[in-house]
Amino acid sequence: MIAVVLLTTAVVTVVALLAAAAAGKLARMENASYPTALTRAATTFAAVITLAAVVASALAALLT
């Protein structure tokens, strides 16, 4: 059971990092400054992690 939790956490972290990198790259392609691109990437990372936490808590409430 612990292995599943660790694997899920790793997958969610990798997906969040990929989404953040894509958001930063798209911001730079739109000629945004580096601080703006970093802010967009950080916001995207936080949003993905928050969404994963919300989904996990909803599933936990349904399965218990």
Q: What is the pLDDT of residues 8-60, one digit of tens each?
A: 999 999 999 999 999 999 999 999 999 999 999 999 999 999 999 999 999 99
Is the sign of the CA dihedral 13, 52, 50, 32 positive or negative? positive
Q: Give CA separation, 48 vs 31, 58, 63, in Å.
A: 24, 15, 22
- Phi, psi torsion values for 32, nearest 5 degrees: -80, 155
8 Å CB contact between 44 and 57: no
- Among all chains, which residue has been given the structure tokens 């599943």? 4
Residue 11: its pLDDT value, please? 97
- Asked whether residue 3 carries a pLDDT value surpassing 90, the answer given is yes
Residue 64: its pLDDT value, please? 85
Residue 30: its pLDDT value, please? 97
